[in-house]
Structure 1
Amino acid sequence: MINRASSFLWNLRQFSTAVPTSRTMRLSPLGFSRLKVVFSNNSNLRSFLLSDFGNRVQSSIRYLFQDALILKSRDDFQTKGVSTETVLTVTRVLCPRRLSFDSKHSLASDDGLKINFYQEASNEDVLTKETKPTPVNYRKLSQECSSLSDVLDIFSEAPTFPSSNYLSSMWTIAKRMSEDQKRIEKQLMFNHPAFSQLCEQMMREAKIMRYDHLLFSLLAIVKLGIPQNTLLVQTLLRVVQERINECDEKCLSVLSTILEAMEPCKNVDVLRAGVRILANQQVWKIERVFTLQAVMKCVGKDAPIALKRKLEMKALRELDRFSDLNSQHMFEALAAMNHRSITLLNECSKMVIGNIHGCPFKVLISILQSCRDLRYRNLDLFKGIADYVAVTIDIWKLKQVLFLLILFEKLGFRHTDVMDLFIRKVMDDPASLTMKNIISVLHVYSSLNHFHKCHTQEFQEAMASSLTGYLHHISSENLLNAVCSFCLMNHFPLGLINQLLQKDIINELLTSGDIERNAHKLRILAACLKLDVSCHKAIDLVLPPLPSTPLYPNAKVADALSSLLGEGYFLKNVHLPHNYHIDFEVRMDINRSQVLPFSSVDVITAAADIQRVAVLCVPRSTYCLDLTHPRGYLAMKMRHLKIMGFHVILVHNWKIERLEMKDIVTFLKTELYSAKAFPTADVNLQSTC
């Protein structure tokens, strides 16, 4: 009796907290009766979310046929002859009701428009065992059942309140299954005759069940893969909006997780705005770090910067309470907000490095992807992850290591040990790589300009041989990408090159896809065939002209050269054959002890004794993250300039910006003149100024 009374009082309390509403009946254009709900004025958050909701959320007309539920907007009416999307298989009209525990009550229509509304259950009926049996425990149910259909079978025998327990147990069971088994079980769930009954009961109970149960039910529904545009999901989203004032910290965490997993739509967008308001009001009251991170992921990239900073400050205050999982997941949370907090990222990086052993593969991938999205470069963090992978490489699959290397390449990070170990694993089993894997491997190693000390030639030949087997299946762009990667590595497999140089393939590359990108890679191939491969017959490719973009050499370097050499002793913006460009050119004697003026007479009479010097002002992005190893394109350009007779001097833009003019002059003087020329360099320097 005490339990029954408690249940009655709980239901009564739910009635008393509901916002007063009035109902009016009107007929929809299709003849179905529809309820028009008019909400009383209220200044709380619920009123904010629902005010002028007709303008915010476009209502839908739901066409209900036998065995199909089709949702279409009023402005997008489709007739019978147009294809439709079958979302849920149902055997009756799905119509949400406010308070009814009896799943047999429904909206009936026969002989035209005959509407029957059943009276809601009385208090006595609610308290009877026949109407409300003892609620089933979802934990016990998930332990006793081995499939989703088993749960639906139990529900069909004796439906009990709340229906959220059945949905939660179904999701708990689904999490234990493999992907293939989960896919089969979901299909059986949709076809089960009790599934539509469970959906109906869930919609009727949504108004009166506990708010956390409502949210857990919606989370289970989303995770089970029930389509988002169904009447069930949209009804629950509306009820969640109406009752959002009941949201405590636990509910805020669940609601944030739900919205993060859902696609954008008007109901979701309104709820996301509500979460932002709640987060702004309750951020300092949040006690659990996981709740804080769930909110950070939910508010999204479009959240106001003030809210992002407030969440950041809250996270910094809780640093002492961060667990290993908290520090690992903070990268993803910040990336979801697109908010780069260097202090927070640095502190979390230290925690990740200190507890790297045993870190799951998915977490490592998430951390690296977040660092890429946030443009966060932490050499110590990347080295810690790479060192861990190098030590434990035997437990990793080849494709897992490749995935990490792809992310490292996007971050510009080159770890020699991991890349050497990967080459050895590939040499042991080259057949394990697919065509796409091979192209990715070539891109990573050519972009990072990495060569194994002993097995470089063998590795390149193995990759070329494996790729040759796919010549009849590879696309033109993939073939171009692979050949361009080989060119950057100074390796030229003639079989692949000859296949690429066929006229039909060249025409396809220059007329479809990313034409500008394809033309750039073809220019690289043409330059390599003329400069690197003397035995190969060079083919003149008719390529579109380069865009004429103005080039501005580094002003501080230009001033330093003027001070060091004087006007007329160097050139700016020099264009060379094969589409190469250098910032400055200086001409010196063969011993690099004296600078020569740019005079046609001098060039003709002493051409054999001239050493051309190319001064390249390079940005940070042309180097790997350690800033000592040039990346692939810069390495190839230096190689080609040396073939064309240049001595190459690299000037780092990021260093020059921090130096005084006298230090820049000293640096250029040291780089230009050879060590043997320093005793006479001062005299030459003075005479040319």
Structure 2
Amino acid sequence: MNNQAYSLLWNTKQLSTLVPRSRFLRIYPLRFCRPEIVHSKWNPRNHLLNGFGEGLQPSVRYHFQGALKSVDGCTQTKGVSWAAAFKLDRALCPRRLFSDSGHFLASDGASDHDLMKTNSHHASGEDVLSKKMRPTPVNHKKLVEECNSLSDVLDAFSKAPTFPSSNYFLAMWTIAKRISEDKRRFEIQLMFNHPAFSQLCEQMMRETKIMHYDHLLFSLNAIMKLGVPQNTLIVQTVLRVIQERINECDERCLSIMSTVLETLEPCANVNVLRTGLRILVDQQVWKIEHIFTLQTVMKCIGKDTPVALKKKLEMKALKELDRFSVLNSQHMFEVLAAMDHRSVVLLNECSKVVIDNIHGCPHKLLISILQSCRDLRYQNEHLFKSIADYVATTFEIWKLKQVIFFLMLFENLGFRPPSLMNKLMEKVVEDPVSLNLRNVVSILHVYSSLNHTQKDQNRQFLEAMANALTVHLHHISSENLLSVVYSFCVLNYFPLALINQLIKKNIINELLTSGNTEKNIHKLHVLNTCLKLDKSAHYKAVHIPLPQLPPPLSHPSDKVAEALSHLLEGEGCFSRNVQLPHNYHIDFEIRMDNKRTQVFSFSDVDATSGTNIQRVAVLCVPKSAYCLNSNHPRGLLAMKIRHLNTLGFYVILINTWELRKLRMEDAVAFVKTKIYSDEALPTTDATV
């Protein structure tokens, strides 16, 4: 018997032991070769993949006629029949393909003659023909060096397609990254029109079962970055196979998968994969060695992750805190914000590192830290002050829009950085021409909200802002015009040209009928009040007809009322929730002599008569009415104090969060000190 006949009989015997007796094979979700799906009447609009919760279905190996056909859903239910396939041993099914990408071991459409021809050349060892079936894999770095465009990579593929196809996608994405955006768009369009691109996608889908798992993830990332739509067959197929083989995921693959998931839009397959990732992370969190991988996973798992898993990741991060680099500490803010988990201990430790290494920190990173603090409702005055002082010290290297963006974030956080704001005031006074309309609107909003003024150049600053706006007066929108005039009014400044333009009948009607009408009405009422009460206003007789605002809700502090009752020996010497003109109200009113040494009963004295009576307004102020960790009142509170003074009141502010911590006898002493003290209202940055 010659060698060929012996080889044929030996391979036939091996195949007979591999082919199952039953018509259908058992499903092996995580093996390399599984039962094969043969499609009849393939409809691309059918669902492609099943849900993760229903169990992992057999892997998908198709004869695709169009790799970029759109898939509406993520499951395939029609036109599919099961056919027996070989359950090959790993030694007989290595992660390699023929150089001809259209054929597999036991591929669809292979004739008996082809199969026998393949097996007849399999000797006990690894002979010459089996070596030809396993060509040397193409290296994507070599492709990048040899090719200058995406089309060059596809040309190389069409000449001699080799395994794995993932390297072609990686090479194309690497080339696309290093060219300009306009050229990249043009190259990607040429890529889609290239005849070999569809063949590459088909080969990619056929190779998904035997490709290394990390190559599969890298391929998906490159495919998405190259602009292939997510609902196409190739993307959904790769997603499905990644689900099936998810148990092959190691720490490196966890990092890659987390990065890829951030680029994908929610859909059935993506949601299933994200769920699988959470399960893996929950099982492997204590085995993660690299901080970068830990942070990437934390950032990816999402805000709707169970709290128990968030806590576990937080404990892992705290355990590895000694190994954090400066960059790890800087990125931890963004990571926790993406996970929506406010870990004060972790944020405090990372803040110390950021403060110590603030110099040279990139603009985007500082912005990201402040945005994350806002999203997490994390207030750290030392961190904010360090960032503000750094920006003020290096003011010349920053663009104007960058400084304004910093100030807008500080305003959202309720933090007032005086040194930085003074620097910007000087810049505006020196060079008002550099301001555009958006700059002016943003600056005025920040300065009025934080109630920031500077005696030396406050007038010059406001005039410069008004002059910069006058240039844009005829093409400024009604809402922007109202916003800037409102900000000027809060700052007790009244530019004539802007007010004349605003109070025109057509603009008032537009504000009352379009946009955010409630907000517009409130701002117009503030304008009306300021024009009537502020001494520097020039429009005492002007009245803008507006709808009535509902009376403001008032919740006077019960503890303050009890303290006043103990202090003044009964409630006859004060009144609660006093409503005033111009929609103002005060929590408590007391009547005293001009020197504020004696309190009068309401039954004994008429507040409207007598020259020796001082009306005292007691306001219960929440912490949000002040700038962060200071007694500096914010814009609306400062304006209210100014108007109450005009109405004849002496204003006393009682911080409710301070009073809440005191026992009653201490609260009485605290209120007594406030009422009989001669100290002026705080307008500086005194620390609470």
TM-score class normalised by the smaller sequence? 0.7 to 0.9
Distance 1:225 1:445, change over 3 A: farther
Alignment-derived partner of residue 676 in structure 2: 673
SS at match of 1:485: helix
CA distance in 2, matches of 1:476, 1:35: 50
Shift of 1:189: 3.4
Give the distance between the partners of 1:34 and 1:522, measured in 2 at CA: 57
Q: Which residue of 2 aligns with 1:305?
A: 307
Please say if residues 45 and 71 of structure 2, whose CA atoms lie closer than 8 Å, have aligned partners that are also in contact.
Answer: no
Question: Counterpart of 2:591?
Answer: 587
Q: Does 1:27 align with 2:41?
A: yes
Q: In the TM superposition, what whole-angstrom CA distance separates every residue of 1:350-394 from its partner, at most 9, and x where no partner exists?
A: 111111222111111111111101000011111121222122222
User: 1:243 and 2:237 equivalent?
Assistant: no
- Give the Cα separation in 2 of the matches to 1:471 and 1:158: 66
Counterpart code for 1:436: R
User: Percent identical across equivalent pairs?
Assistant: 62
Runs of at least 5 residues in structure 1 that lack an aligned partner in the other structure: 1-11, 39-46, 76-97, 107-115, 677-689
Letter in structure 1 aligned against 2:311: R
Query: How far did residue 549 of structure 1 move?
Result: 6.2
Are the aligned partners of 1:620 and 1:627 in contact in 2 as well (CA < 8 Å)? no
The corresponding residue for 1:351 is: 353
CA gap of 1:432–1:171, structure 2 versus 1, over 3 A, is farther
1:215 aligns with 2:217: yes
Is the 8 Å Cα contact of residues 142 and 172 (structure 1) preserved in structure 2? yes
Change (3 A) 1:353 1:36: closer
Q: Residue by residue, what CA displacement relative to the aligned partner does 1:197-219 show, whole Å, maximum 9, x if unpaired? A: 33222222222111000101111
* Cα distance between partner residues in 2 of 1:551 and 1:273: 47
Whole-angstrom CA distance in 2 between matches of 1:584 and 1:634 = 16
1:184–1:433 CA distance, 2 compared to 1 (3 A): farther
Which residue number in structure 1 is paired with residue 500 of structure 2?
A: 498
Query: Match of 1:564?
Result: 567
* Aligned counterparts of 2:195 and 2:541: Cα–Cα separation in 1: 71
Establish whether residue 610 from structure 1 lines up as the match of residue 648 from structure 2: no
Match of 2:634 among 621, 631, 634: 631
Deviation at 1:303, TM superposition (A): 0.6
Equivalent residue letter for 2:329? S
Map 1:280-299 → 2, pairs under 5 A:
280-299=282-301
Structure 2 residue aligned with 1:681: none
Cα distance in structure 1, aligned partners of 2:615 and 2:470: 41
1:619 aligned partner: 622
Q: Is residue 2:209 matched to residue 1:201?
A: no
Bigger mean CA offset, 126-135 vs 514-523: 126-135
Give the length in aligned residue pairs. Answer: 615
Distance 1:35 1:409 in 2: 49
Q: SS of the residue aligned with 1:612?
A: strand
Say if 2:618 and 2:653, in contact at 8 Å, map to a contact too. Answer: yes
Q: Which residue of 1 aligns with 2:233?
A: 231
Instruction: Give 2:372's aligned amino acid.
Output: S
Deviation of the 1:250 alpha carbon: 0.4
Q: Which amino acid aligns with 1:154?
A: A
Q: Tell me which moved more, 373-382 or 357-366.
A: 357-366
Matches within 5 A, 1:416-431: 416-431=418-433
Q: Could you say what secondary structure the match of 1:472 adopts?
A: helix
Gap change, CA 1:651 and 1:251, over 3 Å in 2: same
Change in 2 beyond 3 A, CA 1:234/1:68? closer
The DSSP-based 3-state class of the residue aligned with 1:295 is: helix
2:334 matched to which residue of 1?
A: 332
Q: In the alignment, is residue 575 of structure 1 matched against residue 579 of structure 2? A: yes
Q: Deviations over 1:539-563 (max 9, x none)?
A: 3333333335652200111111111
Q: How far did residue 248 of structure 1 move?
A: 0.4
Q: How far did 1:610 drift?
A: 1.6
Deviations 1:112-156 (A, max 9, x none): xxxx94569957799678876532322233344444344334333
1:89 alignment partner in structure 2: none
Q: What residue identity is the alignment partner of 2:554? A: L
Report the Cα distance in structure 2 between the residues aligned to 1:104 and 1:473, rounded to whole angstroms: 64
Compute the displacement of 1:468 (Å).
Answer: 2.1
Is the 2:552–2:583 contact (alpha carbons within 8 Å) kept by the matching residues of 1? no
The yes-or-no answer on 1:172 pairing with 2:174 is yes
CA contact (8 A) 1:468 1:495 kept: yes
Aligned equivalent of 2:539: 536
Contact 1:586 1:614 in 2 (8 A): yes
Structure 2: distance between partners of 1:33 and 1:406: 48
Instruction: Give yes or no for contact 2:46–2:72 (8 Å, CA) kept in 1.
Output: no
* 1:18 and 2:20 matched: no
Using a 3 Å threshold, how does the CA distance of structure 1 residues 531 and 363 change in structure 2: closer, same or farther? same
Distance 1:358 1:646 in 2: 51
Relative to structure 1, the CA distance from residue 231 to residue 143 in structure 2 (aligned partners, 3 Å threshold; closer, same or farther) is same
Deviations 1:547-593 (A, max 9, x none): 35652200111111111113211111111111111111111112212
| Structure 1 range deviating more: 373-382 or 432-441 | 432-441
Greater alpha carbon shift after TM alignment, 180-189 vs 369-378: 180-189
SS at match of 1:302: coil
TM-score of the aligned structures, taking structure 1 as reference length: 0.82
Distance (whole Å) between structure 2 residues aligned to residue 258 and residue 226 of structure 1: 14
Aligned counterparts of 1:472 and 1:148: Cα–Cα separation in 2: 50
DSSP-derived class of the 1:263 partner: coil
Note the C-alpha offset of 1:498. Answer: 1.8
Shift of 1:69: 4.3
Conserved? CA contact 2:392–2:419, under 8 Å: yes
Who is 2:258 aligned against? Answer: 256
Per-residue deviation at 1:260? 1.7
Distance 1:175 1:189 in 2: 15
Deviates further, 616-625 or 505-514: 505-514
Q: Matches of 2:471 and 2:193 in 1, distance apart?
A: 45
- Matches of 2:357 and 2:212, distance apart in 1: 39
- The answer to whether the 8 A contact 1:414-1:448 is kept is yes
Q: In 1, Cα distance between the equivalents of 2:195 and 2:38?
A: 33
Pairing of 1:633-652 with structure 2 (within 5 A)? 633-652=636-655
CA–CA separation in structure 2 for the residues paired with 1:36 and 1:221: 18
Alpha-carbon distance change, 23 to 64 in structure 1, aligned in 2, over 3 angstroms? closer
Q: For residues 470-525 of structure 1, what are the alpha-carbon distances to aligned partners after superposition, in whole Å with 9 as ceiling and x for unaligned?
A: 22322222221111111111111121122222222222222222222111111111
Do 1:488 and 1:633's aligned partners in 2 also have CA atoms closer than 8 Å? Answer: yes
Distance 1:193 1:524, change over 3 A: farther
Answer yes or no: is the 8 Å Cα contact 1:623–1:630 preserved in 2.
Answer: yes
Letter in 1 for 2:240: R
Correspondences of 1:47-126 after superposition (within 5 Å)? 49=53, 51=55, 69-72=69-72, 102-103=100-101, 117=109, 122=118
Distance (whole Å) between structure 2 residues aligned to residue 50 and residue 155 of structure 1? 38
SS at match of 2:585: strand
Q: Is the 8 A contact 1:21 1:37 kept in 2?
A: no
Q: Which runs of 5+ in 2 are unaligned?
A: 1-17, 19-27, 76-95, 123-127, 680-688
Distance 1:535 1:401 in 2: 34
Which is worse superposed, 425-434 or 510-519? 425-434
CA contact (8 A) 2:52 2:272 kept: no
* Letter of the structure 1 residue corresponding to residue 55 of structure 2: S
Residues of 1 paired with 2:325 and 2:207: CA distance? Answer: 38
Instruction: Name the CA distance, whole Å, in 1 between partners of 2:674 and 2:29.
Output: 84
1:457 to 448, 455, 459: 459
- Does the 8 A contact of 2:530 with 2:537 survive in 1? no
CA distance in 2, matches of 1:516, 1:35: 47
Q: State TM-score, norm by structure 2.
A: 0.82
Report the CA distance shift for 1:105/1:440 in structure 2 as closer, same or farther (over 3 A): farther
1:224 CA drift (Å): 2.8
Q: Do the aligned residues in 2 keep the contact of 1:211 with 1:247 (CA within 8 Å)?
A: yes
With over 3 angstroms needed to count, the CA separation of the structure-2 counterparts of 1:354 and 1:244, relative to structure 1, is same
Determine if contact 1:145/1:151 at 8 Å carries over to the other structure. Answer: yes
Q: Match of 2:571, SS?
A: coil
1:428 shift after superposition: 3.9
Superposition CA RMSD, Å = 3.3
Q: Please report how far the alpha carbon of residue 223 of structure 1 lies from its aligned counterpart in structure 2 after TM superposition.
A: 2.5
